[in-house]
Structure 1
């Protein structure tokens, strides 16, 4: 039996050029997040210190870690745009994932520090209610971060970037954290001064939880993990393509912002090369249309076809 691998050079070059352009677009969202986080973290830390608000200060430290995470995403995006070389035949797309992994370690460290400081403050008998200026600062920052979230989530959907979508979700969680800080500060004005410190503890937990989620997703991608339910859905899409007699094997992995699919299919052994090539093009188009995946490597095996042949 013979086999062949279908590869369209012009199509691959076009995909790479489009991907690089999408990554460049994603850098705009990363820059917006960095600028917003720098301004808001400076504002929160300053007002938090002046008004003696643990919740607002913790929120400011949270945004400080987000600066690092956003820079990591930006650096990863820039490295990802480097073309393949002799040492990186598949390109540099995973640089973004590695950067996110490093950022998760930094976020863990800051989250633990916030928890420690809030715990010490919580045990202190001299807890004072912060000024309401801190509350209005938290509301203002929440509005700004939600606007950044709306921009980034639209950009992520436009360029189909998982990294930017994750950054957008982080922007939204930061808006919620600021709202939580506002609630804690206001509550402290009604005879519950410990509520501000309790909110700081919750912010520390959120920082650690976000760090864990980034760590989990990054390590899953770096070890070639892939959601089995999604893989089975892709497999069914291939099965439904006319001319595919059997899906012999299928694998998928995450490579930066890309999903790579490797599949071996069985086709009627009487088909010629051109007819088999048409089937692979149909598969590529269907997977791109239904799953927005552009990288599909297809290996063909000629098989005997019978009336009872199951896919």
Structure 2
């Protein structure tokens, strides 16, 4: 609810939630709230750890200190990622938000490694833990604060589609688990003299390391070049097909240059006998409307398709029938027939299932199979086949 209130105040109840200006403001607010709460939790847990002598609580306190530092990096990341495009970076600096999230993940990992060492030292050199009720209650209260941060950042991150805020929310969920384990071990020290503090500290450290590895994986994917969102892919395909005169689409490619900085290109098939001016107006209209709808830069390439030539239509139908029964091929596009008389070149692209091709066959084998199948029907036809990859 608090996250919704923040969004409403920033956007003034408008619909520009994912605009760059709103994203930066949300990032600032999330970072400031995180710095205040995590700094407070660090001070409280450090105090509790020092008076109780618990290494597990001390580890948890410095985990909160790293979280406060992470919030500072998040703020810097949002600031830098909002810088306008320049000569060296024509698509802006949006990926810096991913890099800031990656830095946060590595900081969490360093904290985890440090306290793995400290916990082992405590296991081999145990010391007595002093249980007191007020410090225990403070630990329970700190858990509630972390639950709030997880929900707050998770809600904000989902609304503005921010990997950095989602990473912060994920980190807070891990902190809820670790602090809960620490609180239970602290409570157990009241009833037993068994030196479990070092073991609990080790568990907490391993949980922190697991969280950091998960965060690194999540933030590296968009930097390396992960597959685009399926809803966006479906939305673009369906959106282009909804326009008049467009009879097919293929070769959709989506490039992510950071949140709100996505470029996409797609090929749209149109009847070859259609007036060029008419086609251009349709394509231009589709680019503008869909770019605005999905907050992307969309470029549409026109592919003319012959629909009134009987020989071409019959040959295309034969080829589609052959492809239909080939489990390695998903679809065909850009079909053309070139030449006169009996000897003709059939030029077309086929989209293959990448995972199946790698396991079962090679691209050359697919081309040979198609060529042989077509030769059985039309011995005088020559095939020029391009194997196409599915990028979206």
TM-score for the superposition, normalised by structure 2: 0.66
Q: Tell me: CA distance 1:178–1:212, structure 2 relative to 1, closer, same or farther (3 Å).
A: same
For 1:148, the equivalent position in structure 2 comes to: 149
Give the SS at the match of 1:302: strand
For 2:24, the equivalent position in structure 1 comes to: 23
Deviation per CA, 1:262-304, whole angstroms, max 9, x where unpaired?
222223142432122233345446xx4xxxx411422222321
From 252, 255, 258, the counterpart of 1:256: 258
C-alpha separation in 2, matches of 1:96 and 1:222: 10
C-alpha separation in 1, matches of 2:119 and 2:282: 68
For 1:81, the equivalent position in structure 2 comes to: 82
C-alpha separation in 2, matches of 1:118 and 1:58: 9
- Counting only pairs closer than 5 Å after superposition, residues 201-212 of structure 1 correspond to structure 2 as 201-212=202-213
C-alpha separation in 2, matches of 1:273 and 1:239: 14
Query: Does 1:277 find its partner at 2:287?
Result: no
Q: Tell me: CA distance 1:296–1:83, structure 2 relative to 1, closer, same or farther (3 Å).
A: closer
- Counting only pairs closer than 5 Å after superposition, residues 112-261 of structure 1 correspond to structure 2 as 112-191=113-192, 193-226=194-227, 233-234=234-235, 237-238=238-239, 241-243=242-244, 244-258=246-260, 260-261=262-263
C-alpha separation in 2, matches of 1:283 and 1:191: 65
Contact 1:55–1:199 under 8 Å retained in 2: yes
Of structures 1 and 2, the larger Rg is shown by 2
From 246, 267, 273, the counterpart of 2:269: 267
Moved more, 203-212 or 164-173: 164-173
Contact 2:56–2:182 under 8 Å retained in 1: yes
- Counting only pairs closer than 5 Å after superposition, residues 70-109 of structure 1 correspond to structure 2 as 70-109=71-110
Contact 1:41–1:63 under 8 Å retained in 2: yes
Q: CA deviation at 1:142?
A: 0.8
Q: CA deviation at 1:214?
A: 2.2
Give the SS at the match of 1:92: coil
C-alpha separation in 1, matches of 2:235 and 2:74: 28
Give the SS at the match of 1:258: coil
Q: CA deviation at 1:170?
A: 2.0
C-alpha separation in 2, matches of 1:17 and 1:203: 36
Q: CA deviation at 1:227?
A: 5.1
Q: Tell me: CA distance 1:23–1:80, structure 2 relative to 1, closer, same or farther (3 Å).
A: same
C-alpha separation in 2, matches of 1:166 and 1:251: 27
C-alpha separation in 2, matches of 1:190 and 1:117: 24
Q: Tell me: CA distance 1:46–1:215, structure 2 relative to 1, closer, same or farther (3 Å).
A: same
Q: CA deviation at 1:41?
A: 0.9
C-alpha separation in 2, matches of 1:124 and 1:206: 22
C-alpha separation in 1, matches of 2:65 and 2:35: 10
For 1:5, the equivalent position in structure 2 comes to: none
Give the SS at the match of 1:194: coil
For 2:383, the equivalent position in structure 1 comes to: none
Q: CA deviation at 1:36?
A: 1.0
Paired positions, count: 292
Q: Tell me: CA distance 1:229–1:121, structure 2 relative to 1, closer, same or farther (3 Å).
A: same
For 1:34, the equivalent position in structure 2 comes to: 35
Contact 1:187–1:193 under 8 Å retained in 2: no
Q: Which runs of 5+ in 1 are unaligned?
A: 1-14
Deviation per CA, 1:13-71, whole angstroms, max 9, x where unpaired?
xx899222322222101111011111111211121111112221111111112122211
C-alpha separation in 2, matches of 1:272 and 1:202: 64
